[in-house]
Amino acid sequence: MLDTSSVVSEGQNKSVVKCPHCDSQILSPQSATLLSQAHPLPTPTQPKEQQSPITEDLGEWWVVDDMFTFDNIGFSHTVGTTKYLVCADCERGPLGWHDNTSKKSYVALARVKHV
Ligand SMILES: [Zn+2]
């Protein structure tokens, strides 16, 4: 579990959410809601010739109801109804995932920077 107290205010992101690699701004303050729930996300680096991606369970997510809430976000690949989110500028990630059914997006607190 992450210590979220420094980045959460009344259940929302207290500060700007940025890409940890290139500082691109992903979310403005108070634009996403904290969800504490274990969900797998592929690890940032995958071994070559890996058939199915290696994932890790992450427990804290910024839930974004509407794609237009993002200041910047990109998509990488789609698996079933899940699209993986990457930085729009440097294309590194995945930083989270988007559910094509509910249209909600989930950004992993552990994969982004809070400024
Ligand atoms: Zn970036």
Q: How far is the CA of 96 from the centre of ligand 1 (A)?
A: 13
Cα–Cα dist 13/9, whole Å? 6
Residue with tokens 């259940």: 11
Mean pLDDT of 32-43: 97
**Average confidence (pLDDT) over 29-53:** 90
CA of 87 to the centre of ligand 1 (A): 5
Higher pLDDT, 51 or 99: 99
In contact, 88 and 95? CB cutoff 8 Å? no
Torsion angle defined by CA atoms of residues 30, 41, 97 and 110, in that order, rounded to the nearest 10 degrees: 20
At 7 the pLDDT is 96
Task: Tell me how far apart the alpha carbons of residues 23 and 25 are, in angstroms, rounded to a whole number.
Answer: 6
pTM score: 0.94
Distance from the CA of 86 to the center of ligand 1, in angstroms? 8
Fold category of 8-42+55-114 in CATH: 2.170.150
**For residue 93, how far is its CA from the centre of ligand 1 (angstroms)?**
8
Whole-number Å distance between alpha carbons of 46 and 66: 29
